[in-house]
Amino acid sequence: MMAPWRGLFRSLRRFNYRVWVAGAFVSDIGTWIQRTAQDWLVFAQLTHHDASAVGVVMALQFAPQLLLSPWTGFAADHFNQRRLLILTQATMGALAVALGILTVAGVVRLWHVDLFACLFGSAAAFDAPVRQTFVAELVGDEDLPNAVALNATSFNAARMIGPALAGLLITATGTGWAFLINGVSFVAVLISLACLRAAALRPNARAHRAKGSFAEGLRYVWGRPDLKAMLGMLFLIGTFALNVPIFISTMAVRVFHAGARGYGLLSSIMAIGTVAGALLAAGRRQARFSTVILGAALLGTGCLLAALAPNYWLFAAALVIIGIAALTFANTTNSLMQLSTAPAMRGRVMALRVGVALGGTPIGAPVVGWVADHCGPRWSLAVGAISGFAAAILGAYALTRLPPRSSD
């Protein structure tokens, strides 16, 4: 009876992975506190419920993921990943503290938030592909799908805690303290990186430094129909279906007339679904392309149900479905793309994955925000539903054309 559970958490048998997850969990709670506080600051304090302004901040925060991908992928494949993570994590912590000081002092303006979102996004652009591929150094390829899923479980368990804490903090002390707490939380992940046992790491093969390495990554992906199909699906969903801050803030305030606590609670409720999706992924021994299609279709269904929800609690239930679907889709694409890619190319391929998945936000977030402002929040969710179904159709078409081995 206990064997399935031991398999579910098998990556935790490794000391380095346990240390990493512990530090990352504390930092991730802070990250979700800041994300919630930042969206609330823009939507409810610096503007009069302007969803387009939230969309602009999201665009500035995620644009670097795409614009900097030639350099972020190069860095992930060529530099020491542990040292690079220390640099990116310390930078993001310092930026959070600086924004917190401006906000607590009462001098923060919308352009400050825009600027810090862009700077934070630039640091995160270098952090994301390294953080994803570094997991393989901690556990090896044999436990990589499980470790990716447990990472997501930890991240989204923090998502259950962080937004709810943010709602309480905003109500009790103000938005600025949420940013300061996030800045301090980065100390935990820096300590965990310092405590890793270097001898137990399994370094990925480093690429040779040469001109045109980014173009080499593009050629590699172009020759892989399965990778191209997943990137296309990621673009559709990342651009239009994962604008969750806009969906939740506009529905919470305009449709259900909730305050900061109600808004934070909705974000935490969605995390129930993302944790469930992550645990389901952790229990799978093998990632399959068909699961990617299923996740996209379920995401479209969840967005449609959320758009039609007649009250706050049914909307919250639909968010759980969206959470399960989003994590099923994201984790499976992550595992498939890493495991099917040559180790020396992983950083560049994962940088492309992150760039495509998040780099579409500068396009989608302002569009979805405009739809929410001019057509209503429910119609913005309808846009998300359409993109989820479109991604599923694209995946189903690609599946019929992939060789049997690629579609496993």
Tokens linked to 194? 């310092």
% of residues, the chain, pLDDT over 70? 93
* Sequence-ordered list of residues with C-beta below 8 angstroms from that of 384, at least 6 positions apart, any chain: 240, 241, 242, 243, 247, 299, 300, 303, 368
What letter would DSSP give residue 49? S
Greater confidence, 83 or 212?
83
pLDDT tier at 214, thresholds 50, 70, 90: low
Task: Find the range with the poorest average confidence among 2-11, 216-225, 282-291.
Answer: 2-11
Task: Give the pLDDT confidence score for residue 273 in this predicted structure.
Answer: 85
- 3-state SS assignment for residue 340: coil
Whole-number mean pLDDT of the chain? 85
Cβ atoms of 86 and 128 closer than 8 Å: no
Distance, in Å, from the CA atom of 391 to the CA atom of 361, rounded to the nearest integer, reads 16
Instruction: Report residue 3's pLDDT band, with 50, 70 and 90 as the boundaries.
Output: very low
**pLDDT reported for residue 7:** 62
Task: Note whether 326 and 397 are within 8 A (CB).
Answer: no
Residue 285 has what pLDDT?
67
Give 213's pLDDT tier (boundaries 50, 70, 90). low
Distance from chain centroid for Cα 245: 12
Q: Given pLDDT bands bounded at 50, 70 and 90, which one contains residue 304?
A: very high
Q: Which two tokens stand for residue 296?
A: 């996209």
pLDDT at residue 4 is higher than 50: no
**pLDDT tens-digit readout, 268-288:** 888 888 778 777 776 666 778
Residue 207 has pLDDT above 70, yes or no: no
pTM listed for this prediction: 0.73
Name the pLDDT band for 404 (thresholds 50, 70, 90): low
**Residue found by looking up tokens 């600051």 in the block:** 41
Residue 185's pLDDT is 95
CA-based nearest residue to 143, from 6, 11, 15: 11
Supply the pLDDT for residue 313. 95
Lowest mean pLDDT among 9-23, 300-314, 381-395: 9-23
| Segment 122-147, tens digit of pLDDT | 999 899 888 878 887 888 777 777 88
Which pLDDT band holds residue 5 (cuts at 50, 70, 90)? very low
How far is it, in rounded angstroms, from Cα 176 to Cα 340?
Answer: 43
Q: Is the pLDDT of residue 238 over 60?
A: yes
Dist. CA 159–CA 214, nearest whole Å = 34
Q: Which residue has the higher pLDDT, 406 or 111?
A: 111
Average pLDDT of the segment spanning 402-408: 58
Cα–Cα distance between 119 and 37 in angstroms, integer? 17
Q: Chain-centre distance of CA 343, in angstroms? A: 23
* Cβ proximity of 46 and 118 under 8 Å: no
Per-residue pLDDT, 59: 84
Q: Is the pLDDT of residue 375 over 90?
A: yes
pLDDT at res. 321: 94
Interatomic CA distance for residues 392 and 381, integer angstroms: 17
DSSP label at 173? Answer: T
Closest CA to 233 of 165, 334, 155: 334
Res 257 pLDDT > 80: yes
User: What mean pLDDT is predicted for residues 230-236?
Assistant: 93
The DSSP symbol for 407 reads T
Q: Could you tell me how many residues make up the chain?
A: 408
Q: What is the structure's pLDDT at 8?
A: 72
Q: Which two tokens stand for residue 337?
A: 């793309």
Domains observed in the chain: 9-193+210-401 (1.20.1250.20)
